[in-house]
Amino acid sequence: MTMCFYISLSVSAMDTVIGLYGETVEVPCNNGAPKPKDLFITKWKYVKMKGKGDNGDLLTQLKDQDASVIATNQYKDRVSMAENSSLLIAAASLKDEKIFTCMVVAGADISEYPVKLLIHKAPTRVEITALAAELEIGKPTQLGQCSAPDSNPAANITWFKNKKHLVADGKGIIISSKVKVDEVTGLTTTSSTLQYTAEKGDTDALFTCGTLNALSSPVSFTVTYPTERVSLHVISKGPLMEGDNVTLKCKADGNPLPTSFNFHIQVVKVENSDSYTVTDVTRDSTGEYKCSIVDNAKMEDSKNITINYLDMSLSPSEKVMKSAGESLALNLQTDASGELRVSWTKDNGKLDKMPKFDKLTYSDSGKYEVVVTMGALIKKASFELVVEGIPVIRRLAKQRGEDGQHKVLTCEAEGSPKPTVAWSVNGTSADESPYVNGKISYKLTIVPTVNLTVVCTVSNELGQDTRAINVSTLFEEVRMDKQGSSDDSDTTKLVVGVIVGLLLATVVVGLAYWLYMKKSKQGSWKTGEKEDGSTEESKKLEEKIEEKLEENSQKVEV
Ligand SMILES: *[C@@H]1O[C@H](CO)[C@@H](O)[C@H](O)[C@H]1NC(C)=O
Ligand SMILES: *[C@@H]1O[C@H](CO)[C@@H](O)[C@H](O)[C@H]1NC(C)=O
Ligand SMILES: *[C@@H]1O[C@H](CO)[C@@H](O)[C@H](O)[C@H]1NC(C)=O
Ligand SMILES: *[C@@H]1O[C@H](CO)[C@@H](O)[C@H](O)[C@H]1NC(C)=O
Ligand SMILES: *[C@@H]1O[C@H](CO)[C@@H](O)[C@H](O)[C@H]1NC(C)=O
Ligand SMILES: *[C@@H]1O[C@H](CO)[C@@H](O)[C@H](O)[C@H]1NC(C)=O
Ligand SMILES: *[C@@H]1O[C@H](CO)[C@@H](O)[C@H](O)[C@H]1NC(C)=O
């Protein structure tokens, strides 16, 4: 007997559905196509995938009835069927990666719709750990480890620098990945280690790592690099002079900046500072100075430093005593590293040039100072010159007072130290001029009652000088010369007048005598007398004239 069942079985191509780990996963039946009209039964079952796991039925649903769970295993409480025949699996895990088949019986047709279920899980987080403390330029360093735990499938970790993909090149960028699968959950933890060789410019670079849809927080690093340049600077301004403090500064690049330096000042070595001051430098400090960083003596710089100097010596340099008329040799010696300006002063007054003392006079006395400058360097020296000499009376004169009642005697003296005066007579008043350049003038007012010889004596420690002058009484002089008020000038006029008068008289007398002689010669031509006129008469006449002149000039004498 043949039961004739005509059954057709069709198996459609397998779909793939991706569900999310831990969620309720929907596995659609026949891609969500509407249920066939003559649907009799819908059944969900599963088969192992890639030979793993088991096979089993999950649930069935008869037409117009509720679905009933057949499974007795782990799926017992997790599966259900939706109105549209989709299989719903709660709390999906990797163990649910199976082939689920929806079997639909409609009329005589049995259709199977297998669906491959994959469970995906994004990594719990993406983060960079095990960060490098710092990156040193040129030195391969493990920058960090990016981990993406518990994902399925395994996360594909990518590294970025400033959002730009870092591609491993086997030299500067080496990326190694490690994958670990959790035995219980089957989830994969991926970690990727980046070994990176920093370059200049990486100082503020932001490094991130990411998976398909997650990105780590950015990290940045201190980028260090060794010193590549050292430069030595002289901080002190202007030309350096002896006595200055010269501060040297050693500048270096690198990160971190070097903090210790070696200063080589000829042979001296200083540490733990970037600057060094050489105090109170001298010309011997001139030379080549070097600095270097402590851990690499080749990283050095040098500078030639010149210390300017100025030496000066002056001779004499203290107080000098000299006699008037002597000479004094000055000796100024200078030794300097540059051009000098020399200026002289005497008693604070400027001199044009260095003084010369070939023949000292009292006016040469004074305080001499020489100032030698070169830039800011100034040297001074001074000496005091005192010119001494025995007093000498240059002039002793007399003058009648304007009222005609007294006479003023003037005794002018020169000498140093300042001469004092002594008069041989007492005066009605005495005064002295200021003592300037060794000169002083003393005056004495007297009222002479008799003819006097007045002596002026000037003296100092070194000696003295004396001079006398004859002073006649005022009474006689008044009688002699009523108009005269000044002895000095008027006496001269008077003398000149008298002399002129007497000369005229002489000429008249002489003329008369010549005429008389001529006559007598004519008479005695042949007597042979000499013609020189040195006769008794002429001699007598000459004597008389001389007497007369003498008498007159004596009268003129005051
Ligand atoms: C099936 O029904 C569920 C719940 O009603 C719905 O979420 C889902 O989108 C449906 N699936 C298809 C393939 O239509
Ligand atoms: C990871 O990603 C890179 C680039 O994004 C790609 O070339 C590579 O094939 C991926 N690897 C895997 C295992 O998916
Ligand atoms: C140089 O330094 C010393 C000590 O620090 C100080 O006493 C002196 O005044 C300084 N000299 C100059 C010219 O600045
Ligand atoms: C300093 O002077 C010396 C000798 O003149 C010279 O050899 C050297 O190069 C100079 N150094 C610098 C830094 O100028
Ligand atoms: C000047 O006066 C003083 C006293 O006044 C006297 O002792 C002295 O002898 C006088 N000298 C002359 C030269 O008259
Ligand atoms: C003073 O001298 C003048 C001439 O020099 C003379 O004439 C006069 O007699 C003298 N007087 C006395 C008081 O000696
Ligand atoms: C002053 O007069 C006397 C005699 O009267 C004379 O010997 C003397 O030389 C005169 N002195 C001066 C300085 O003229």
pLDDT at 201: 85
Higher pLDDT, 38 or 146: 146
> Does residue 178 register a pLDDT over 80?
yes
Residue with the smallest CA separation from ligand 7 atom 5 is 470
Q: Which atom of ligand 4 is nearest to the CA of 302?
A: 13
> Does residue 134 register a pLDDT over 50?
yes
Mean pLDDT value across the chain: 84
> Does residue 473 register a pLDDT over 90?
no
Is the separation of the CB atoms in 180 and 187 below 8 Å? no
Contacts of 352 (CB under 8 A, 6+ apart): none
Q: Which ligand is nearest to the CA of 451?
A: 6
pLDDT at 518: 59
Q: Which atom of ligand 3 is nearest to the CA of 245?
A: 1
Is the separation of the CB atoms in 301 and 288 below 8 Å? no
Residue 279 C-alpha to ligand 3 middle, in angstroms? 7
Instruction: Enumerate residues lining ligand 7, CB below 6 A.
Output: 453, 468-470
Q: Which ligand is nearest to the CA of 81?
A: 1
Residue with the smallest CA separation from ligand 4 atom 13 is 303
Higher pLDDT, 116 or 265: 116
Average pLDDT over residues 475-502: 47
Residue in 120, 156, 192 to alter for ligand 2 test, most ligand atoms within 8 A of Cβ? 156
Residue with the smallest CA separation from ligand 5 atom 5 is 426
Predicted TM-score (pTM) of the model is: 0.52
Residue 435 C-alpha to ligand 1 middle, in angstroms? 136
Percent of the chain with pLDDT over 70: 82
Residue 452 C-alpha to ligand 7 middle, in angstroms? 10
Average pLDDT over residues 330-342: 93
Q: What is the DSSP letter of 266?
A: T
Three-state secondary structure along 15-38? EEEEEECCCCEEECCHHHCCCCCC
Q: Which ligand is nearest to the CA of 426?
A: 5
Residue 129, burial from CB neighbour count under 10 angstroms (0-12, 13-18, 19+)? exposed
Q: How many CA atoms lie within 13 A of 313 on its CB side?
A: 3
Residue 20 C-alpha to ligand 2 middle, in angstroms? 21
> Does residue 90 register a pLDDT over 90?
yes
If one counts every other C-beta atom within 10 angstroms of the C-beta of residue 451, the result is 11
Q: Is 553 in the pocket of ligand 6 (CB under 6 A)?
A: no
Residue 525 C-alpha to ligand 6 middle, in angstroms? 50
pLDDT at 552: 47
> Residues 300-329: pLDDT tens digits?
999 999 999 999 999 999 999 999 999 999
> Does residue 70 register a pLDDT over 70?
yes
